[in-house]
Structure 1
Amino acid sequence: MSDHAEKHVVRGTGSDPAFFSCWNLHAYYGESYIVQGVSFDVREGEIVALLGRNGAGKTSTLRTIAQIGSPQLHHGEVWLDHQPLHTMKSYQAAQAGVGLVPEDRRIIPGFTVEENLKLAQIAKPIGWSLERIYDHFPRLGERRHQEGTTLSGGEQQMLSVARALARDIKLLLLDEPYEGLAPVIVKEIEKIVENIKELGITTIIVEQNAIAALELADRAVILDMGQVVFDGSAQEVLDNTELRHQYLAL
């Protein structure tokens, strides 16, 4: 680990009053030790880019935060607005305000755009109304009666984000939102995330397109081999060629 990275490594205390905080997370896929003591905080309304090479533990960290299936949390704490997510099931974490937009989008086959959105609102607390969603995502309004799985990749990503907002979320977790999308569509998704930021929704974004994520984010947390090696401003990563090359292959 470089001297530059070492001075930025998070040393969690478990008592940070941040809006969101994960402290000393350790998680496994079966016997594979994936997340190895990850700690970082996020301020309310902030966008944090969670970056690293393939296999660094980024998606596993998101899934651990959301308490979604595997990986299994072995040790550590996750707090959101004074609520202990680490003691909750996935549905309880969702009720507490966690909205995960997975890489595979998970649009429900056989359901229209509007049915996918309504299904997200079956359980309370309910977030954005359909009218508000269509106001922010006019393309979804135009296609409200179209089957969700027949949308383009960019439209499916919009639907996946809108479905998260249909819940009353406090923390939005975006896993590879630009994956497989044309550059022009990436720009549209970026605008959506910027609008979300303006609305004060706290966001953690995992993205292989690190430059695009960094240009959008306030801060960056870089993982390597399941551990935090950098926690600082996004601009600092953009300005540091050596750091990007070492941990992001850029």
Structure 2
Amino acid sequence: MNIVEIENLNAGYGTGQVLFDVSLEIEEGEVVSLLGRNGAGKSTMMRCVAGAKPPHIQSGTVRVNGEDITDLATHKRTSKGIGYVPEERRVWPGLTISENIRMAINNTSDPMSLDEVLSYFPRLQELEDKAARNLSGGEQQMLAIGRALASNPDVMLMDEPSEGLAPYIVRDVEQVIRQLNEEEGLTIFLVEQNVVMAMDVSDRHYFLDQGEIVDEMTPGKLQENPEIRQRYLSV
């Protein structure tokens, strides 16, 4: 069963078009990554699914759990099963860890409990009364994931979760992604520049180049195709 379906999506900013007839599908329980060079349109794609503004969807359809959400307001998409971890985390800096998570809980009809969320993040459990502004980058990233998880989503959208993190923290993020997918069966749609991490956690990859989907393959096939990595990923 497809939990996310994107069909012939065209989107951009103002009069400029960034995405061109993008179509993709994500099955329930999959981890799917969207790969490409900087400027390919990956974050624009993620924001279109999350409903974050901008960009502007010019045409095409976004469906989650079979329901057309293309024109649905951003704040209403959580109730349709979408959890969103935005680029640069965007936690509420003046609130504590527990307050950040409770904000998400209080705005969701069927949330996880605070204890359930924190059970995935032992470090955050130790610091739950600490203001988000005083956390490390890795701790803020875990908080951003936890805040999205609190809504008990069907699909988690993650935009560059390893960006700016030390390698040992990236391993922690990997572990959380694996745990959520393997133990909870959570479907995850991932935009990631760290190709090694993406290959480690994903079932499939889509490749975006100049706003168009140009290929799709498994991590094993990507590993066997250095010319693809060079052409679309510069690695």
Tell me if structure 1 keeps the 8 A contact 2:81–2:153: yes
In structure 1, runs of 5+ residues without a counterpart are: 1-16
Aligned to 1:131: 115
Separation (CA, whole Å) in 2 of partners of 1:242 and 1:31:
34
Q: TM-score, normalised on structure 1? A: 0.91
CA contact (8 A) 1:113 1:144 kept: yes
CA distance in 2: counterparts of 1:182 and 1:128, whole angstroms: 29
Secondary structure of residue in 2 paired with 1:42: strand
Deviates more, 1:212-221 or 1:232-241: 232-241
Aligned to 1:151: 135
Q: Does 1:218 align with 2:198?
A: no
Q: Once superposed, which parts of structure 1, at least 4 consecutive aligned residues long, lie more than 3 Å away?
A: none
Is 1:204 aligned to 2:189, yes or no? yes
Structure 2 unaligned segments of length 5 or more: list them.
none
Distance in structure 1 (CA, Å) of the matches to 2:108 and 2:228: 43
* Aligned equivalent of 1:7: none
- 2:99 equivalent to 1:115: yes
Answer whether contact 2:3 2:155 (CA < 8 A) is retained.
no
Q: Any residues of structure 2 matched to 1:70-81 within 5 Å, and which?
A: 70-81=54-65
SS of the residue 2:24 aligns to? strand
- Secondary structure of the structure 2 residue equivalent to 1:53: coil
- 1:19 partner SS: strand
Between the aligned partners of 2:121 and 2:31, the Cα distance in structure 1 is: 20
* Identity value in percent: 38
Cα distance between partner residues in 1 of 2:100 and 2:114: 11
Work out whether residues 105 and 113 of structure 2, in 8 Å CA contact, stay in contact via their aligned partners in 1. Answer: no
1:10 alignment counterpart: none
Deviation digits for residues 154-179 of structure 1, max 9, x if unmatched? 11000000000100211111111011
Listed one character per residue, the Cα deviations across residues 189-242 of structure 1 (whole Å, up to 9, x for unaligned) are: 100000011111111111111121112100000000000001121221121111
* Residue correspondences, number: 234
CA RMSD of aligned residues (A): 1.0
Measure the CA separation in 2 of the matches of 1:113 and 1:51: 31
- Does residue 101 of the first structure (1) align with residue 85 of the second (2)? yes
Is 1:231 paired with 2:220?
Answer: no
- Number of the residue aligned with 2:51: 67
Alignment of 1:138-177 (within 5 A): 138-177=122-161
Deviation track 1:2-51 (CA, whole Å, cap 9, x = no partner) reads xxxxxxxxxxxxxxx62211011100111111111110100101000100
Instruction: Report the Cα distance in structure 1 between the residues aligned to 2:99 and 2:92, rounded to whole angstroms.
Output: 9
Residue number among 207, 225, 241 corresponding to 2:226 in the alignment? 241
